[in-house]
Amino acid sequence: MGALHTDPPRNGEGDRAQRGGGGVPRALRPEVAIARKLRRDLSLPEALLWQRLRGQQAGLKFRRQHPVGPYVVDFYCPAVKTVVEINGEAHNCAGRPDRDAARDAFLRENGLRVVHVSAQRVLADPDAAADAIVAFVARPLHHSPEVANGPPPRYGED
């Protein structure tokens, strides 16, 4: 019997059938799909803030439109488990304050700090808003504003 002769694969055909490539794309969790869409459609305050937060300021890395549980948060700093939410006019409309409170409660129950910054503050001075966020996020978790004005820690407690 003679040897079986086959032609080499044509452009891009390769041995896909044998490797399992080209299948059905994996379904995304709904919040991941929403986060991807929101990353493409940032509001002006979010875009201005992202331009300033995207570098590693003070050694901190931020993610934008990051899914956390069933929610998508505006910015997230995983190193210190802090969420930054930009609050515009839409946050004052019908039912939104209740949804925001439920989201904040969920985030806090899951060990995250939540910081709210008004969109007006970001629009007025994006650099100052970014600097304030980085300064807040860079603070250790055990130094809260209420304690900062109290007595200094006892020897060996800092």
Q: Could you tell me which residues are beta bridge partners of residue 63?
A: 76
pLDDT of residue 18: 53
Q: Give 98-116 pLDDT, tens digit per residue.
A: 899 999 999 999 999 999 9
Mean pLDDT of all residues in 114-143: 87
CATH for 29-138 (1.10.3720.10, 3.30.590.20, 3.40.960.10, 3.30.565.10)? 3.40.960.10
User: Looking at the whole model, is its pTM more than 0.75?
Assistant: no
Q: What's phi and psi for 44, nearest 5 deg?
A: -60, -50
* Residue 66 or 29, more confident: 66
Sequence-ordered list of residues with C-beta below 8 angstroms from that of 50, at least 6 positions apart, any chain: 42, 62, 64, 75
Q: Give 32-43 pLDDT, tens digit per residue.
A: 776 676 667 788
pLDDT of residue 149: 47
Question: From the CB of residue 50, how many other CB atoms can be counted at a distance below 10 Å?
Answer: 20
Strands 82-87 and 63-68: unpaired
Mean pLDDT of all residues in 120-144: 84
pLDDT of residue 19: 53
Domain residues of the chain, as ranges?
29-138
Structure tokens at 10: 């044509």
Q: Are 66 and 73 in contact (CB under 8 A)?
A: yes
